[in-house]
Amino acid sequence: MEKLKYADITEKIIGASFEVHKFLGNGFQEVIYQRALAYELNQKGLNFCREIEQEIFYKQLAEPIGKRRADFVVEGKVLIETKAVIQLEDVHLNQVLNYLKAYKLEVGLLINFGSKSLTFKRLVL
């Protein structure tokens, strides 16, 4: 069986996410889950940065046309976007794919704490 890229990192992130959801449940604002997830990622010994601003460029324009912030970049390899919504939608998946392009990363996790059960999607560019 082929091993998923950065499976060791994504497994720890998903485990940390389940721990957060198990403790907090659903119904909080996104930032509450992000803070709790940061604690759990630390507990698992993962290095991460939060809210890294990335400029967005369009074609050959020298100046950026905007900026975006991913919720987390873990070990410089895996992007995490958190949500606290009832249900994930295509727009959320597209957001992660766009962030992966902008940050020049291959693997992203979209994690939703807002549903009754934790839901997540693993996206690969």
* Confidence category of residue 13, pLDDT binned at 50, 70, 90: very high
Q: What is the pLDDT of residue 103?
A: 86
The Cα-based distances of 6 to 23, 31, 81, 84, 122 in angstroms read 26, 25, 16, 25, 11
CA dihedral sign of residues 28, 93, 104, 16: positive
Is residue 113 classed as helix, strand or coil in its secondary structure? coil
Q: What is the pLDDT of residues 38-87, one digit of tens each?
A: 999 999 999 999 988 888 888 888 898 988 899 999 999 999 999 999 99
Q: Which class does domain 7-124 fall in?
A: alpha beta
Domain ranges of the chain: 7-124
The answer to whether 107 touches 124, Cβ cutoff 8 Å, is yes
3-state percent breakdown (helix, strand, coil) of the chain, nearest 5: 35, 30, 35
Q: What is the pLDDT of residues 83-99, one digit of tens each?
A: 999 999 999 999 999 99
* Confidence category of residue 2, pLDDT binned at 50, 70, 90: low
